[in-house]
Structure formats: structure tokens, C-alpha cells
Amino acid sequence: MEKTELKKLIIASLEEQGFIVSNDRIELPSDIEKSKIRELHEIAVNHKRDSASINLKKKENELIRYFAKGSEINPEKVKPCLVTVTSNSIEGLLFRYASLHWSIPVSSGYGRRLRFLVMDSYHGKLIGLIGLGDPVYSLKARDTWIGWDEDQKRQRLSYVMDAFVLGAVPPYSYLLCGKLVAMLAASNEVREAFRAKYGSRQSLIQKKLHDGRLAMITTTSALGRSSIYNRLKYKDRLLYHKVGFTKGYGEFHFSSGLYKEIYEFVNRTCKPTSKHHLWGSGFRNRREIVGKCLKALGLSNDWLNHGVKREIYVVPLAENTRNFLQGYDKILVEFDQSVDDLFTFFRERWMLPRAARDKRYLDFDPESYMLWK
């Protein structure tokens, strides 16, 4: 595709999504609400679904069986457990399929990666998803909360993971199980799975062995402020701490049907600028690709600033998370919070009261959740 044509298509796509486009920046309407932000993501979500349909459409009848019919669920009997997702497995297909129902496009995570299905072992159905990946290096609000300097961050960031997927599927979502999934991300079992997978593994760049300890998880809300993470406690202790907002930079608004053309144009006309030879010779990520495309087309790199600010949360997994991440404490005093203990608290505090007063979960039919029926 030629430069002039691609430039016109990019501008048309941004305007279709609701952006106000000028030469040096793109802007959202000042009165935008959550419903409009969902619409803003809709093009990218639909494109992701279309791409996934090649492999998943033929499996949909098999995968939809893991979603419960509301009338089948007895809230008194729900019993969650974590199932580790491995590549090329039915669990992996189910994770991908369920994440396609999210209102924003779900990334695959970066670098190290841990994925879990939260299953209801009593009913044999899917409750929700947990996906952890490497955190971004530069996140001012997180770094300010921790209080570390650049050298401390470089040495200790490997003890942090970012939750790129956290959420429940219906009918469990009607029972506030989004909160449950968020709580279980902080469980002993997640820490132990991280230790089992990454303990004694050598880092790619620094060539250091990791001891497998996980001190903190970060995440961001999908659409502005989060009703799930906000004031989420285990007993009297706050689990998710609000630390600020993202600046609104990213590339989701270029992840529509045009991304293939953007990639092909950049691959043909631009050179990667990977900062370390051990990362390989290709482009680092989508943001680099989109940024290079904008520059080559004579468009402003500020078009990466979509303006959708998301609230940032940190989840300390130990009493001394900050001192440990700063390097002052060598021993990590981890919180003891098992899946069973977290669920027992959640069950009495949120799920059973919701089930008693709100019966919408009973009406859910998995057939209404199918993407390609």
C-alpha cells in the first residue's frame, strides 16, 4: 500500500472511532463517557474476533460448554480453583475464546507470562481469567509509590508482574466474581506458580538467576475508574491500592483492520531500533511499529496519545513489599492468603448477599454468549 493511501485510511479510521484529528494531535470529545470509550474500542475488538475466528469458530460449540447456564448454578456450592494455562491446550483455547468477550482488546502479555483459568470445580464451569505478564519499565505512578531509584528498579523490577487480564464471565460476573478473580490474583497459589515457573531461571539481559519470589502485581482499569478494584479488601487489609492514572498513550486505536497494512508498510520501509541484540533483530512491539509508521507518513508521534486514561493499581503481596523492592530488605514477608481463604471471605462478604438480592444470574444462557453462532 502506498503512503498517501495508507495515510488517508488511518485518518478515516481514527475519525470513525470518534477522534477529532488535527495535524499535531488527536483528541477525544471532552464529555466522553464509559459507554463511548467502549465504543471507541469496538472496532479493534471486532477485528480481533474476526482474526481469531479462523481457529476458534470451529471450536465454539466445544468451548461454550465451559460456560454455565445460570439456572445450573447453586451459589452455596461454588468452589473456585486455579488451572494453569499451557500453550496448545484446550485451556489455552478457552482462555483466548473467553478473552474475546472483553469490552477492550486483550493483549497477549509481554515477556514472562502466567495464565490461569478460574474454574468452579463443583459445577465444572469457567468463572474467569487471570493473565500476568512482564510490567512496563516506565510507569511513574508505580515507581513513585514504591519509592525506588533507577538502579533499584533495574535490579528489582523482575519481582513485579502486571495483570493484563483480570475478569469474570457470566453468570458468575452477576455474582460479583470479578472481585473474586481480582482477589485470587494475589493468592499464595499464584505466587507458588510464579516460583515454580521462574525460580532459578536466568534473565535474558542481565544473565542473573531469579529466585522466583513475586512481591507485587500491577494492573490498570479497563475504562477509567474501576468499581471492581476500588476499596477491594481481604478482611481489614486493602488489596488494590490506587496510585494514579496512565497518560493515555498506546496503540489500540491502530489495532483495527489497518494494523496489517501498517505492519507491512513499516516492515518494507523502516528499520527496527531494538536496544539490545539479545532482544532479536525485529521490531520490539506494536508501539514501535505504529510510531515508525506515523513518522514515515509525516504524521505526529503524538497520535499515539489516545487520551483514554486508566487508573493504575498496585497489589503488594508482602508486608514489606516496598522495602524489598527498594533493596533494603532481603527477606520477603509474604502475606498468607490461599485461594480457599480468599474465597471464604469473598463468599460471605459479597457473593451470597448478591445472590439473595439479585437473581439476574439465573437468566443467563450460554448460547447468548456465542460469537459466531
Q: Give the number of other CB atoms < 10 A from CB of residue 331.
A: 10
Judged against a pLDDT cut of 90, whether residue 352 lies above it is answered with yes
Averaged over 76-99, what is the pLDDT? Answer: 95
Judged against a pLDDT cut of 70, whether residue 336 lies above it is answered with yes
Please choose, from the candidates 139, 193, 188, 129, the residue with its C-alpha nearest in 3D space to the C-alpha of residue 163: 129
Asked if the bond preceding 171 is cis, omega within 30° of 0, the reply is yes
Judged against a pLDDT cut of 80, whether residue 204 lies above it is answered with no
Torsional class of 18: left (φ above 0), alpha (ψ -120 to 50), beta (otherwise): left
Name which residue leads in pLDDT, 37 or 129: 129
DSSP reduced 3-state for 287: helix
Cα–Cα distance measured from residue 109 to residue 116, given in angstroms and rounded to the nearest whole number: 13
- pLDDT confidence bin for 165, thresholds 50/70/90: very high
Judged against a pLDDT cut of 60, whether residue 206 lies above it is answered with no
Q: Is beta strand 80-84 parallel, antiparallel or unpaired with respect to 26-27? A: unpaired
Judged against a pLDDT cut of 60, whether residue 79 lies above it is answered with yes
What is the pLDDT of the chain when averaged over all its residues? Answer: 87
Averaged over 186-212, what is the pLDDT? Answer: 84
- The pLDDT score that the predictor gives to residue 213 is 96
In terms of DSSP H, where are the helices of the chain? 3-16, 34-56, 60-63, 90-99, 140-146, 150-156, 177-184, 188-198, 259-269, 286-296, 321-326, 339-346, 352-357
Judged against a pLDDT cut of 80, whether residue 106 lies above it is answered with no
Judged against a pLDDT cut of 60, whether residue 158 lies above it is answered with yes
- Global pTM reads 0.83
pLDDT tens digits, one per residue of 212-260: 999 999 998 866 667 889 999 999 999 999 999 876 667 777 766 677 7
- pLDDT confidence bin for 201, thresholds 50/70/90: confident
Averaged over 201-211, what is the pLDDT? Answer: 67
**Beta-carbon contacts of residue 235 (< 8 Å; ≥ 6 apart):** 345
Residues present in the chain in total: 373
Cα–Cα distance measured from residue 180 to residue 119, given in angstroms and rounded to the nearest whole number: 12
Judged against a pLDDT cut of 70, whether residue 335 lies above it is answered with yes
Q: What distance, in Å, lies between the first and last C-alpha atoms of the chain? A: 34
Of 88-102, 132-146, 242-256, the one with minimum mean pLDDT is: 242-256
Cell of 259: 494494523
Judged against a pLDDT cut of 90, whether residue 371 lies above it is answered with yes
User: Hey, where are the domains in the chain?
Assistant: 62-248+334-369
Averaged over 6-25, what is the pLDDT? Answer: 82
Please choose, from the candidates 356, 254, 243, the residue with its C-alpha nearest in 3D space to the C-alpha of residue 305: 254
- The pLDDT score that the predictor gives to residue 13 is 83
- pLDDT confidence bin for 90, thresholds 50/70/90: very high
Find where cell 490506587 sits: 242
Please choose, from the candidates 168, 89, 96, the residue with its C-alpha nearest in 3D space to the C-alpha of residue 129: 168
Cα–Cα distance measured from residue 344 to residue 341, given in angstroms and rounded to the nearest whole number: 5
- The pLDDT score that the predictor gives to residue 123 is 98
- The pLDDT score that the predictor gives to residue 245 is 84
Cα–Cα distance measured from residue 337 to residue 184, given in angstroms and rounded to the nearest whole number: 9
Taking each helix axis as running N to C, give the angle between helix 3-16 and helix 286-296, from 0 to 180 degrees, rounded to the nearest 10.
120
- The pLDDT score that the predictor gives to residue 32 is 61
Cα–Cα distance measured from residue 184 to residue 166, given in angstroms and rounded to the nearest whole number: 10
- The pLDDT score that the predictor gives to residue 256 is 63
- pLDDT confidence bin for 15, thresholds 50/70/90: confident
Phi and psi, residue 97, nearest 5°: -65, -45
- The pLDDT score that the predictor gives to residue 1 is 67
Phi and psi, residue 365, nearest 5°: -120, 120
Residues 54, 93 contacting (CB under 8 angstroms): no
